[in-house]
Amino acid sequence: MVSSIALVILVDMLTNGATEKYLFDSNIYLGIAERGFETELLVSPFIYRYATPLLARILHQSIGISIYKSFKLITYFGGIGQLFGIYLIVHYLTHSKRSAYVGMLAVAFSMYNLKYLLFDVYRADALAYAVILLCTWFVFKKQFYPLLLITILGLQMREFVAIPLLAYIVSKMQQEGIRRSLREIIISISGLFVAIALPRLLIPVVANEQTVQISLEGIYDLIYLLSLWQRDVNLIYVCFAYFLPSIILYRHVNVKTMQHELGTEKWVYISCYVAFVFLLTLVGGTDMERFASYFFLPMAVFVGFLIKKQSLIGVIVVLSIQFIFNRIWLPFPIWDYDLFACNNLALC
């Protein structure tokens, strides 16, 4: 826990803040925290991620800190929870403290898991990473109902929180068959309906900013999106870039050992997790780098296993490359903030 806190503070010291102008998403989340569900803020899909902004509003009203400090506090708690959760899960799987620390550092030195959230504290992702790790812990401990409950609550923060439950169901079907998994499948579908469909039925939106919508037109949009080869190339690059530490450490014999130590059930779960993150990134918007940050769990696990036989020098080299590649020591380039917003969100 102390290491997690120290890493968040360190990365924060190396990160500038977006305090004058905000990106489009952040303006919506900030507006929800300040004004609640006002009509102009009912924009899909952002309004369905109301949990984090409302939590910031509660902190602001209950303990008297500013909205900015409320979001910053949430970001700190989310970052610490994310890193500490990575440590616990990697240590649980590898039985190695060194692997757990290296996995935690690999995530801390990924640009969008920590640094970007400290740059733009109004994002809805801050707590989602920690919630995903908690869900994964319940998966490994075979605690279905806590997994379902936390998923339902977490989906009010970010859609990616559904991935552990979906990966669990698919892996369970693969291991036990559909018939033996049917009860949990039905309960999961019901829970996901409550968590996803119900807010969308109850909250009327005035605008829709989703890249792909659930409609006939949305299907055409998806087909067009998949036909953009430049985007496909960028997607492949983003995925490879995120798994850079794992790629550097890759050895076929080590991967075989990792599969054996994980066991079939956990290996299938992690593989399904990777597939679902890739799918959501594929059909998502222009922020593919941020979507790819949800690969953080398998990346940390892979790194944790692959460094077990590495020398200390090898570990230092890999972490140094991760630190340099993601430019952790540099501020975000906002000498022209409007240009930065356009390049990141394709709004121009």
Which pLDDT score is estimated for 80?
A: 96
Cβ atoms of 115 and 328 within 8 Å: the answer is: yes
- Rg of the chain in Å (alpha carbons): 20
The pLDDT value recorded for residue 348 is 34
Q: How far apart are CA 144 and CA 135, in angstroms?
A: 9
Q: Give the global pTM.
A: 0.89
Delimit the domains of the chain by residue range: 2-345
**Running along the chain, 348 residues long, what does each successive block of 10 average in pLDDT?**
92 79 74 87 88 93 90 95 96 93 95 92 91 96 95 94 95 86 92 90 80 59 70 86 91 85 91 93 80 94 91 91 91 60 43
Q: Residue 97: what pLDDT?
A: 93
Dig out the tokens for 116 from the structure.
């970007």
Tokens 């340099």, residue located: 324
pLDDT of residue 333: 65
CA distance 208 to 187: 30
pLDDT reported for residue 282? 84
Residue-level pLDDT at 26? 81
